[in-house]
Structure 1
């Protein structure tokens, strides 16, 4: 199974991607986790990524694309993967298409979690408090929502034109949302 999990920041992609990866026995590839690890290690990539993250902006495509290409080439991705946080722009979709074509592969489904903006902001503020995430201040969270609406939400239309999109209500318990995802993935896309 080759899945893409989309939704605005705070929609629950990280939580759901871990469960999906376990159910399908595929690696979950979350660019946000990779960026945070690089920042914590103070690598050159991490230092570059930190500047973008502090402003609530997306990390530059060339940095992100290179990182994802290396990860998808690893042996554990041969039989499938779940992407969380990539692609985020039309340009990244084109790059992912090239990566998949090179591997003679395609995406099976794009699961889109939908959640009200005020709910998202509240979730991210609670997460910032619990996890001590310095990059999750309210102005940065709201800017991330704007950037998602401007740059990433249009990808839903692009993937919908390819008959890959499966929208799922991202409110409720983790288990309820997981059950909704399982249900849409069990049906053929129309």
Structure 2
């Protein structure tokens, strides 16, 4: 397998900044906004976007991370657990949610995340932000905020590297 870097650190940072500005414009600041990152890499991206929002708007935005494993359609035994302790739970009722993930592919992870969010409460709106949209949807799901569209072949994979886990920021196509 070979890896081809398609976003370097600077490009990834610009993409996150662009997403942040689009979130600000769509939400007229940050009032009633909650960022929800899909574990694992979406969680780190959500925190980065929240930090940028705070720098730009002077508002601290709540960030929550969800584990959608038990809401996936390929898991037979659901226990409806999000793996959240009380400190991690944020009241999402009547809030404007921005669901954040690293890569949008088939849409199945996002569908599971939507089920998980509705399990927690009834938000006012849910928007989707992804660092990379690679196409090949199996469900009618689209992102509201996209850092970069990267068309791929079905057999290729997108690998998002984040400093917090991988020691550097980049996006690679794995052939």
Which TM-score bucket, shorter chain as reference? 0.3 to 0.5
Higher RCO, 1 vs 2 (CA within 8 Å, ≥6 residues apart): 1
Higher share of residues assigned helix: 1
Higher strand fraction (1 or 2) = 2
Question: Scaled by the length of structure 2, what TM-score is found?
Answer: 0.34
